[in-house]
Amino acid sequence: MGAEAGVLRDAWRLAVGTLTVLRVAPPVVVDRRRAGIAMVLAPLAVAPLAVLVALVAWGAVELDVAPLVTGMVVVGVLALGTRALHLDGLADLADGLTASYDRERSLAVMKTGTAGPAGVAALVIVLGLQAAATGSLLASTGARGAVVVGVATCVSRAALSLCCLRGVPGARADGLGSTYVGSVAPVLTVLVWILAAAVAGVAVSWAGVGWWHGPLAVALALAAVCLVVLRAVRRLGGVTGDVFGACVEIAFAVVLVGVPVGAGLG
């Protein structure tokens, strides 16, 4: 029992320390088992950020701040709260996929850490979608929509369990993502996404939108993440830490876009 508690403690510290700016004690041991558990716990690990984002969104609605401005502030808070780690991955993946059809050249471009034209364009498009969709959601649902924005923050991290699914290869042997590659069992990945869909359904229903719009938005996010992972495997030979980050940001955007559409139709 004590050993298992130690594993969970290390996994939790790894998840929180990697995915947020919150200061936690470093894990005693970092191995593939702990890394896999950390990725399963990722939606819970970012709960403090989700609460902060929800409070910011709620305050903006109460103060009658313009929806787009609110969306941009929310996006900014999340960028600060994650050290822009996922945004860096999104930019690097876009640059790598557009740099060359040669695998090694693409991986080399992604490793430079600088943002080229494709990376900048990806950031503008995805962040723009996140901000605009957040504003649209809050305009449709009011203050209760703030909770949905917070839930979307957590739900988007379900993408990490799919990126780290056992059987998905890694593109390189080194790098931040190498320890996490293939570390999550399929049954846990399925469970994470089912729970994400259920929580999203409850949140959007409470906000006044048909409950099924939540699972639908999560399903669309799952499809988007699958496409990114498949593309990475075909072009790069596998996933990297940059692919993880890109999938989180894309999943967040898709969930946020999906729910306001449902609100408008409902």
The domain total for the chain is: 1
Angle at 230 between CA 227 and CA 236, to 5 degrees: 130
Q: Output b/e per residue, 28-43; b: 16+ Cβ within 10 A.
A: eeeeeebbbbbbbbbb
Contact 45, 15 (CB under 8 A): yes
- φ/ψ of 169, rounded to 5, equals -75, 160
With a pLDDT cut of 70, the percent of the chain lying above it is 96
Contact 217, 258 (CB under 8 A): yes
Residue with tokens 């729910």: 259
Using pLDDT thresholds of 50, 70 and 90, give the confidence band for residue 1.
Answer: low
**Average pLDDT of 65-69?**
94
Q: Looking at residue 119, what is its pLDDT?
A: 92
- CA-nearest of 30, 109, 46 to 82 is 46
Residue 17 domain flag: no
pLDDT in tens, 178-203: 789 999 999 999 999 999 999 999 99
Residue 153 domain flag: yes
Contact 165, 184 (CB under 8 A): yes
What is the rounded distance in angstroms from the CA atom of residue 96 to the CA atom of residue 214?
32
* Residue numbers of the domain that contains 250: 49-265
Residue 159 domain flag: yes
**Helix axis angle, 213-236 to 85-99, nearest 10°:** 50
Q: 10 Å Cβ neighbour count for 75?
A: 24
Residue 22 domain flag: no
**Average pLDDT of 120-143?**
94
Residue 180 domain flag: yes
Q: Looking at residue 175, what is its pLDDT?
A: 66
pLDDT at residue 69 is higher than 90: yes
Residue 56 domain flag: yes
pLDDT at residue 129 is higher than 50: yes
- CA-nearest of 85, 120, 121, 106 to 245 is 85
Per-residue tokens: 160: 């990490």
How many residues are present in the chain? 266
Please report which residue ranges of 167-212 form alpha helices under DSSP H.
186-206
Q: Of 54-58, 161-165, 206-210, which gets the smallest average pLDDT? A: 206-210
pLDDT in tens, 42-63: 999 999 999 999 999 999 999 9
Residue 240 domain flag: yes
pLDDT at residue 247 is higher than 90: yes
Average pLDDT, the chain: 92
Residue 34 domain flag: no
pLDDT at residue 113 is higher than 80: no
Using pLDDT thresholds of 50, 70 and 90, give the confidence band for residue 112.
Answer: confident
What is the rounded distance in angstroms from the CA atom of residue 142 to the CA atom of residue 144?
6
Q: CA 44: distance to chain centroid?
A: 12
pLDDT at residue 176 is higher than 80: no
